[in-house]
Amino acid sequence: MTKILTNLNKLHDLITAAEKKANREGNDVQIIAVTKEVSVERTQEAIDAGLIHLGENRPEGLNRKISEIQANVHWHYIGSLQTRKVKQVINYIDYLHSLDRLSLAEEIEKRAEKPVKCFVQVNVSGEESKHGLTIEEVLPFVEALKSFTMIQVVGLMTMAPNTEDEASIRSVFKQLKQCQQQIAEQGFAHAPCTELSMGMSNDFEIAVEEGATFVRVGTALVGNERGEQDEHEK
Give the three-class secondary structure for 144.
helix
Cα distance between residue 75 and residue 69, in whole Å: 11
Q: With 60 as the cut, is the pLDDT of residue 169 above it?
A: yes
Rg from Cα positions in the chain:
17
Confidence of residue 98 (pLDDT cuts 50, 70, 90): very high
What is the pLDDT, as a whole number, of residue 27?
72
What is the pLDDT, as a whole number, of residue 234?
38
Cα distance between residue 140 and residue 127, in whole Å: 21
What is the pLDDT, as a whole number, of residue 120?
98
What is the pLDDT, as a whole number, of residue 227?
59
Using one digit for the tens of pLDDT, what is the confidence trace for 10-68?
999 999 999 999 999 777 899 999 999 999 999 999 999 999 999 999 999 999 999 99
- Bridge partners (DSSP) of residue 233 are 230
What is the pLDDT, as a whole number, of residue 194?
98
Contact 75, 94 (CB under 8 A): yes
Cα distance between residue 216 and residue 31, in whole Å: 6
Taking the whole predicted model, whether its pTM rises above 0.75 is answered as: yes
Confidence of residue 225 (pLDDT cuts 50, 70, 90): confident
